[in-house]
A and B are shown apart, each in its own frame.
Chain A
Amino acid sequence: QKEVEQNSGPLSVPEGAIASLNCTYSDRGSQSFFWYRQYSGKSPELIMSIYSNGDKEDGRFTAQLNKASQYVSLLIRDSQPSDSATYLCAVRTNAGKSTFGDGTTLTVKP
């Protein structure tokens, strides 16, 4: 079992729809959770971090964390073609180790 698993893509949504990206992790002691966006040919860019159960909103992005279910998600509201990218989930354990998921590629169609 991989330490961090993301829903297999690619994911395609129409412009204006909600895109939902999911991530599960295996280490129950994990404390910090991150979402990165990576455009094709570019390096990853941090877009959201979440540390407590519940929702965290930043503009059109909402990160959701459920530690009991070992599940973290990213919702993108009013998706735009410029949101088309690969989204990476990353988890940091209590021991300080950070692990990235394989990524989910999102395409937003005009």
Chain B
Amino acid sequence: EADIYQTPRYLVIGTGKKITLECSQTMGHDKMYWYQQDPGMELHLIHYSYGVNSTEKGDLSSESTVSRIRTEHFPLTLESARPSHTSQYLCASSPSGAGEQYFGPGTRLTVT
């Protein structure tokens, strides 16, 4: 079944730790996105990719980095987690030439 996956679903980690949030999709979509969303608040685009070896920063300044070495995989890395990084992180993908996005279940990150 074609889908989009995120791991871990929940993560509690201490300040200063390096973390990687995983996102994989089996739909063959070229475009992938990372959003940050606090409870009850709007989506903020932090990174996107239009294909392998293509990554761009989004509208919200973020201390995270991303990579796109394979079409299906778009991990997000925080080199040194801080309490201000506490949020929900949503990964999405979209077919080429289309505008609709399909979201993963999200990773809820808490930095203590």
Contact = CB atoms under 8 A, between A and B. Distances in A.
Interface in A66-110: 88, 90, 92, 98, 100-103
B104 A43 contact: yes
B99 A43 contact: no
Contact of B103 (A31, A43, A92): A43
Interface size class of B (residues with CB under 8 A): 10 to 19
A44 to B, nearest CB: 5
Interface in B79-112: 90, 94, 98-106
Nearest to B33: A98
A7 interface: no
Chain A at the B interface: SS class: strand
Given A34-B100, A49-B100, A90-B99, A43 B105 contact: yes
A98 B105 contact: no
Given A100-B42, A102-B42, A103-B42, A46 B101 contact: yes
A100 to B, nearest CB: 5
A62 interface: no
Interface of A: 31-32, 34, 41-46, 49, 88, 90, 92, 98, 100-103
Interface of B: 39, 42-43, 90, 94, 98-106
